[in-house]
Amino acid sequence: MAPCGAAPILPLALALTAVAAVSWARGPSGTHWSRQGCAALGRCCPGRDPTCAARGPPRCFCDQACREVRDCCPDYARACPAVSCVVAEWSSWSRCVKPCQVSYRLRQRHVLQEPRNGGAPCPPLEERAGCVEYWNHQGVECQQSLLPALITTGSYGKEREKRGVPKKQETIGYCVQFRLGPVPGSCQQVRAPHAQWTRYLTQGHTVCVRCEWPAQDARSQRCYGDGGGAGGHQLSLWQAAGHPRCRGTWERLGQLRDCSCPEVHSLVFL
């Protein structure tokens, strides 16, 4: 005869076995059995894809949109980790696309790692900046004058590549001071990184514009649009390279050997 209290032992053992079986089926941390997750499915899909679903119950998904819909499989974050875009460094700036006229130069970069599973998208892969070259691709000097005066930030003068420049040409140059006339509002409405300098152009301010090779005419050793041939207090035209709608007038104040304006008002002829 079984001792008193022994009868409930068998049902209790069966209950514990059942709990253990359920826990093993769900896996660690309450996740579903591996046969029901994204790892078992072997797919991580872009966008919303109704076919990218793991077996249930309950039915769950392994597509990128499941995070918003909130129907991802429990192992989605582990099986389909977010991978952000990775890009290479910028290339060097190209030559002007079209010589002997207002044009633009390019620099590019390529994708090293495409984004996946909701990772950060790729940034722009190409940038353009306004420029002018006074020599065509065959090495012949351009004969045309470029009016109005084309200007850009002084930092471009430091970056400008001097192809085949005689050593003495590197130091020849001069600075011209101008007082800006009315400046259109379009100069303030700029998004391109290379044209941010136009935000600092303000009516009445004095700007210093450096004239140096290769912007100098080979015969006169002057830059087009520097106002050297204009009479006193005569207005001439300027235009910001890379921002065609940013243009206006200025009054020539004088010529100096070196520029001494603040950096935001230090420009260079193109």
The predicted-structure confidence for 103-142, as pLDDT tens digits, reads as follows 788 999 999 999 988 888 999 999 988 776 767 777 776 6
Confidence (pTM): 0.49
Going by the DSSP 8-state scheme, the letter that residue 45 receives in this structure is B
* DSSP category for residue 216: B
Beta strands at 149-153 and 235-240: parallel, antiparallel or unpaired: parallel
pLDDT, tens digit (0-9, with 9 covering 90-100), for 234-258: 778 898 887 888 988 899 898 888 8
Q: What pLDDT sits at residue 26?
A: 41
Encode pLDDT of 55-64 as tens digits: 777 889 999 8
CA angle 216, 221, 227 (to 5 degrees): 75
Q: Give the count of beta carbons closer than 10 Å to the beta carbon of residue 10.
A: 9
What's the confidence (pLDDT) of residue 14?
45
DSSP-based three-state secondary structure for 110: coil
Task: Work out the angle at residue 103's Cα, subtended by the Cα atoms of residues 228 and 138, and round it to the nearest 5 degrees.
Answer: 90
Task: Enumerate the H helices of the chain as residue ranges.
Answer: 9-26, 38-41, 66-69, 76-79, 154-159
